[in-house]
Amino acid sequence: MRTIDFLEQGDGAITLIDQRLLPHEKKILTIKTHQELIEAIQTLAVRGAPALGVAGALGVALIALRSQQQGWSQVEIDSAISALRAARPTAVNLAWGVDQVTPELVNGPSSVLKSALAISRADGLANRAMGKLGAAYLLDKCGERKLRILTHCNTGSLATSDWGTALGVIRELSEQGYIEEVFADETRPLLQGSRLTAWELSEAGIKYRILPDGAAASALFSGLIDAVLIGADRIARNGDSANKIGSLGVAVAAKESGIPFLVVAPESTIDRSLASGAEIEIEFRADSEVTHFAGNAVAPLGAKSYNPAFDVTLARYITAIVTEKCVYNLGAGVEI
């Protein structure tokens, strides 16, 4: 399943699965302008760090194409690229994808698109490599037996160009016959776990259960979980990792209960310009995501919220970080 792709016919457009409608409806959006892409990113029609990297690269290709078709000035081009790059501040992959292909603008739209599609293909290959490395690591650490895995948010093909990061490891383990059951946190307030991860697990035929976020610590301390796998949106060079809000609490509970806690993400998610997670900018989102559900108020009128989209899990709570390159075993003073 291709979460995001480029339609070269006609005037050119980006196509993507509208994740806002899942699991009830699978709809393909056709994105014809960079403004539409920014809206899709900010409203979470497309989300997930690797998928945002691809979206950033393809977005620059779309900007290059439209600027040629419509005779944009350099100021207009630069403004469009800056707006796209800043659409979501915490996920480093979006800016990374934009930056990877922007130098190709001088060579024309076809060169930008060629580079963007290469990033998309490389993401798929990286996902497979992460899956194999992560599966091998877990089987070595936990023993070659059927495992019960807890995961938070969505890290599957919907969060990438295909296959997945943390969920890619789960897919690999499942193909090898080493998954007993997956526990998917629902992931409040937008329910990416129950809407997206559960849908992907169902499609893949992998046995799963959905947990309220508040039940994760209890499941870990009750001995129901063998390992935790999550993704990341930005990783500092000391190993501190930003991921969907709620990840930190799971990590602390996993550490206290002696359960391996793995972060699975591509090398492009590592931001070595940041010494620690204290430097990661955290995106805050609208009160309505907490005070309303499916358009209906579930809190008193005018209620305010504390609604960070991400939290930072400190490296001391992370057993290892898995990328397509290697497994980084974290310890005191280790830099990646």
Domains of the chain: 4-122 (1.20.120.420), 131-329 (3.40.50.10470)
At 304-316, the pLDDT tens digits run: 999 999 999 999 9
Pairing state of beta strands 292-293 and 296-297?
antiparallel
For the cut 80, the answer to whether the pLDDT of residue 33 exceeds it is yes
| Cβ-contact 185, 155 below 8 angstroms | no
For the cut 70, the answer to whether the pLDDT of residue 27 exceeds it is yes
For the cut 80, the answer to whether the pLDDT of residue 331 exceeds it is no
At 48-64, the pLDDT tens digits run: 999 999 999 999 999 99
pTM over 0.85: yes
What is the arithmetic mean of pLDDT over 82-100? 95
What is the arithmetic mean of pLDDT over 238-262? 98
Q: List the one residue out of 263, 76, 50 whose CA is nearest residue 164.
A: 50
- Which of 7-11, 20-24, 264-268 has the lowest average pLDDT? 7-11
Judged by DSSP in three states, 313 sits in strand
How much of the chain is helix, strand and coil, in % rounded to 5? 45, 20, 35
> Given the structure tokens 């005191």, which residue do they identify?
332
Pairing state of beta strands 270-271 and 234-236?
parallel
Catalytic-role residue among 185, 233, 240, 311:
233
Confidence of residue 332 (pLDDT cuts 50, 70, 90): low
What is the arithmetic mean of pLDDT over 237-256? 97
Task: Tell me if residue 233 is catalytic.
Answer: yes
Q: CB within 8 A of 178, min separation 6: which ones?
A: 135, 139, 144, 145, 146, 147
What is the arithmetic mean of pLDDT over 141-160? 96
For the cut 80, the answer to whether the pLDDT of residue 334 exceeds it is no
For the cut 90, the answer to whether the pLDDT of residue 335 exceeds it is no
At 153-165, the pLDDT tens digits run: 999 999 998 899 9
Residue 218 gets the label, from left (phi > 0), alpha (psi -120 to 50) or beta, of: alpha
Annotated binding site: 47-49, 88, 192, 243-244
- Provide the CB-side half-sphere exposure for 285 (13 A, CA): 21
What is the arithmetic mean of pLDDT over 68-94? 96
Annotated binding site for substrate: 47-49, 88, 192, 243-244
Average pLDDT, the chain: 96
For the cut 80, the answer to whether the pLDDT of residue 284 exceeds it is yes
CB atoms within 10 A of CB 332: 6
Confidence of residue 271 (pLDDT cuts 50, 70, 90): very high
For the cut 70, the answer to whether the pLDDT of residue 32 exceeds it is yes
